[in-house]
């Protein structure tokens, strides 16, 4: 955890979380069980609109996809806060999965995933440094270029 706590880190960095996204199916955005919170895959939605559409490496630049990964992580934190009540309950970010809709020859998925990872370290300090998978996919829901999921250790 940052020395100031996650909520204070957001305030100091002037990072505003978007409203928590509503699920687009029969699932829970966040499930808390046994000291862990499992955050469902979140998309880079702002005001109900995707930040970008298409495949990274052909339709979407790496920089735009990295920005989309950051926004998807912000949506993840918003969903997490809506369930926990406060992000200061986060003990550690354990694992992040970043799915990247990739053009056939695209191989920079880890660079795209850094958009999410860097945000989490910015907000949670060393407690935000996590295990990660950056996975290329043929297509993702709604033609989004990026989807982010995470597992978080939480305090009672």
pLDDT at residue 71 tops 50:
yes
User: Which strands make up the sheet holding 90-101, listed edge to edge?
Assistant: 30-33, 36-42, 146-154, 90-101, 131-137
Burial class of residue 56, CB neighbours in 10 A (0-12, 13-18, 19+): buried
φ and ψ at residue 45, rounded to 5 degrees: -95, 135
Domains and CATH numbers, the chain: 6-11+35-154 (3.30.1330.40)
Question: 70: pLDDT confidence band, cut at 50, 70 and 90?
Answer: very high
pTM of the model: 0.95
Q: What is the per-residue pLDDT for 1?
A: 41
Radius of gyration of the chain (CA): 15
Structural contact between residues 74 and 15, judged by C-beta atoms closer than 8 angstroms: yes
In 1-155, the DSSP E strands lie at 30-33, 36-42, 45-46, 49-50, 90-101, 131-137, 146-154
Q: How many whole angstroms separate alpha carbon 73 and alpha carbon 104?
A: 25
Structural contact between residues 129 and 96, judged by C-beta atoms closer than 8 angstroms: no
Q: How many whole angstroms separate alpha carbon 16 and alpha carbon 96?
A: 21
Q: How many whole angstroms separate alpha carbon 103 and alpha carbon 40?
A: 24
Residue range 132-146, pLDDT digits in tens: 999 999 999 999 999
Query: Which position has the higher pLDDT, 3 or 55?
Result: 55
Residue range 42-61, pLDDT digits in tens: 999 999 999 999 999 999 99
Structural contact between residues 87 and 80, judged by C-beta atoms closer than 8 angstroms: yes
Q: What is the per-residue pLDDT for 23?
A: 87
DSSP 23: P
């Amino acid at each position: 955890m940052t020395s100031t706590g996650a909520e204070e880190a957001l305030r100091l960095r002037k990072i505003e979380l978007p409203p928590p996204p509503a699920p687009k199916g029969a699932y829970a955005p966040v499930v808390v069980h046994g000291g862990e919170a499992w955050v469902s895959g979140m998309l880079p939605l702002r005001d109900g609109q995707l930040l970008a559409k298409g495949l990274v490496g052909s339709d979407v630049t790496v920089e735009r996809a990295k920005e989309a990964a950051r926004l998807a992580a912000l949506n993840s934190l918003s969903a997490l806060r809506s369930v926990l009540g406060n992000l200061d309950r986060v003990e550690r970010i354990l694992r992040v999965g970043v799915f990247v809709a990739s053009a056939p020859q695209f191989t920079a998925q880890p660079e795209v995933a850094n958009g999410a990872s860097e945000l989490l370290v910015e907000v949670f300090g060393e407690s935000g440094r996590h295990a990660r998978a950056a996975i290329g996919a043929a297509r993702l829901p709604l033609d989004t270029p990026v989807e982010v999921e995470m597992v978080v250790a939480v305090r009672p």
